[in-house]
């Protein structure tokens, strides 16, 4: 299959061709503010199945359904909790996904067999225009091959899916760079199933009540099964082995250099995910700065591109500094540790 790449601007765009593909049951990759999505008509079970095939995604891992306006929610949800309205008023369109009961229009092929549906209104003009012009809610996971880092540029989508899907809408690099926060509204207490740009504090301030975090997400080594099925897979991973090194900065640099020397002695090439402040101190073979340590938005925005950059080099092991930044640090560390298969070393 030939993949057509169509550039989309930030202004009004005619997406007739892409919308025709969606309406015809086909797949379109499109930009959102978080990462690129791989979209299909959420109400069409055959179309949803194509997503799983193109990504190589396990069929028990449900898709997020994207809508363009508040009223669209009633076309996908069986019950709309009162708290959904408050959160939507505060954060939609934006990087927040809410899990609620699904209605009969959303097939189980879309929800990985669950009777709940995850819904999000993306904050990107091309995504919103595609949903409106297609005239249906759009199911879309991140537009990467299952297990690989999520795509933050159209070229990443093409690297994974060219030849497998008919259309990629190219809106340039995304703004946020990590996937949406997922909150489950089906239980007594709202629970964060995946941390993201919208934090626990922001959610509980809006709801004026306590918000929990799925314990399997906080303690990935505990053996508990995460409630978002996708969170149980090793994810976002580069091809090389990866280890996160945490602790006081100078000691982290010294430890990574010591490990680099040991690897070099064994003929193994190493890479480092560093910051602008530390990059000159390393002697690894490939050193990538993720940005300034204080700039947590930049760290989030660059993370997946850097993981992919290591895939084009020839390093066999990647060491990463830790980025437990104040606001979105939890989300960044969640993705980083997943990429490392939870392999973390503490230096003191």
Smallest gap from residue 36 Cβ to Mg ion (A): 10
**Cβ distance to ligand TXA smaller for residue 120 or 301:** 120
Smallest gap from residue 61 Cβ to Mg ion (A): 9
SS (H, E, C) 108-143: CCCCCCCCEEEEECCCCHHHHHHHHHHCCCEECCEC
Binding residue for Mg ion (CB under 5 A) from 32, 134, 142, 180? 142
Q: Which two tokens stand for residue 238?
A: 């580069």
Question: From the list ligand TXA, Mg ion, none, which binds 278 (C-beta under 5 to 8 Å, kind-based)?
Answer: none
**Cβ distance to Mg ion smaller for residue 103 or 145:** 145
Question: From the list ligand TXA, Mg ion, none, which binds 149 (C-beta under 5 to 8 Å, kind-based)?
Answer: none
Distance of CA 309 to the CA centre of its chain: 17
**Measured in Å, how far apart are the chain's first and last C-alpha atoms?**
53
**Cβ distance to ligand TXA smaller for residue 150 or 263:** 150
Smallest gap from residue 164 Cβ to ligand TXA (A): 17
**Cβ distance to Mg ion smaller for residue 272 or 307:** 307
Is position 116 an interface residue for Mg ion (rule: CB under 5 A)?
Answer: no
Rg (alpha carbons) of the chain, rounded to whole number: 20
Smallest gap from residue 201 Cβ to Mg ion (A): 25
**E-strand stretches of the chain:** 4-7, 28-30, 37-41, 64-66, 96-101, 116-120, 138-139, 167-170, 181-184, 191-194, 212-213, 241-247, 270-274, 286-289, 317-321, 344-347
Binding piece for Mg ion, criterion CB under 5 A, among 50-58, 141-149, 189-197, 298-306: 141-149
Question: From the list ligand TXA, Mg ion, none, which binds 193 (C-beta under 5 to 8 Å, kind-based)?
Answer: ligand TXA
Chain position whose Cβ is nearest to ligand TXA? 230
Kindly give the pairing relationship between strand 181-184 and strand 96-101.
Answer: parallel
Site for ligand TXA, rule CB under 6 A: 32, 34-35, 37, 61-64, 95, 97, 99, 111, 114, 116-118, 120, 122, 140-142, 179-180, 182, 193-194, 227-231
Tell me the sheet residues that pair with 28: 39, 167
Smallest gap from residue 39 Cβ to ligand TXA (A): 8
Question: From the list Mg ion, ligand TXA, none, which binds 123 (C-beta under 5 to 8 Å, kind-based)?
Answer: none
> Around Cβ 262, how many Cβ atoms within 10 Å?
11
Smallest gap from residue 251 Cβ to Mg ion (A): 34
Tell me the sheet residues that pair with 213: 192
Rounded to the nearest 10°, the torsion over CA 255, 256, 257, 262 is 90
Q: Which two tokens stand for residue 205?
A: 């301030």
Question: From the list ligand TXA, Mg ion, none, which binds 134 (C-beta under 5 to 8 Å, kind-based)?
Answer: none
Smallest gap from residue 121 Cβ to Mg ion (A): 18
Pairwise CA distance, residues 102 & 107, whole Å: 9
Question: From the list Mg ion, ligand TXA, none, which binds 62 (C-beta under 5 to 8 Å, kind-based)?
Answer: ligand TXA
**Cβ distance to ligand TXA smaller for residue 117 or 130:** 117
Name which of 161, 164, 252, 196 is nearest 33 in CA terms.
Answer: 196
């Amino acid at each position: 299959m030939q993949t057509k790449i169509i550039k989309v601007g930030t202004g009004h765009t005619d997406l007739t061709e892409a919308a025709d593909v969606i309406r015809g049951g086909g797949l379109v990759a499109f930009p959102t503010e978080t990462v690129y999505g791989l979209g299909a008509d959420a109400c069409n079970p055959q179309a949803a199945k194509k997503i799983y095939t193109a990504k190589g995604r396990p069929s028990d891992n449900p898709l997020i359904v994207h809508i363009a306006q508040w009223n669209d929610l009633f076309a996908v949800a069986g019950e709309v909790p009162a708290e959904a309205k408050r959160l939507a008023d505060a954060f939609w369109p934006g990087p927040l996904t809410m899990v609620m009961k699904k209605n009969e229009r959303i097939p189980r092929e879309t929800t990985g067999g669950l009777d709940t549906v995850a819904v999000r209104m993306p904050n990107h003009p091309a995504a919103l225009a595609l949903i409106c012009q297609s005239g249906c809610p759009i199911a879309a996971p991140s537009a990467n091959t299952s297990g690989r880092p999520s795509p933050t540029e159209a070229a990443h989508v093409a690297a994974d899916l060219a030849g497998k899907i008919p259309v990629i809408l190219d809106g340039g690099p995304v703004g946020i760079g990590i996937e949406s926060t997922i909150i489950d509204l089906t239980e007594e207490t709202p629970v964060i199933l995946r941390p993201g740009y919208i934090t626990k504090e922001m959610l509980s301030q809006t709801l004026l009540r306590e918000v929990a975090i799925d314990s399997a997400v906080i303690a990935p080594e505990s053996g508990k099964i995460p409630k978002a099925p996708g969170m149980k897979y090793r994810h976002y991973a580069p091809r090389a082995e990866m280890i996160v090194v945490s602790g006081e900065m100078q000691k982290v640099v010294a430890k990574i250099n010591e490990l680099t020397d040991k690897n070099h002695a064994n003929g193994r090439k190493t890479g480092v995910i560093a910051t602008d402040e530390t990059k000159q101190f390393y002697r690894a073979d490939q050193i990538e700065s993720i940005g300034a340590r204080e700039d947590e938005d930049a760290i989030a925005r660059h993370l997946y591109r850097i993981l992919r950059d290591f895939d084009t080099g020839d390093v066999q092991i990647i060491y990463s500094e830790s980025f437990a930044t104040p606001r979105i640090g939890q989300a960044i560390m969640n993705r980083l540790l997943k990429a490392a298969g939870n392999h973390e070393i503490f230096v003191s």
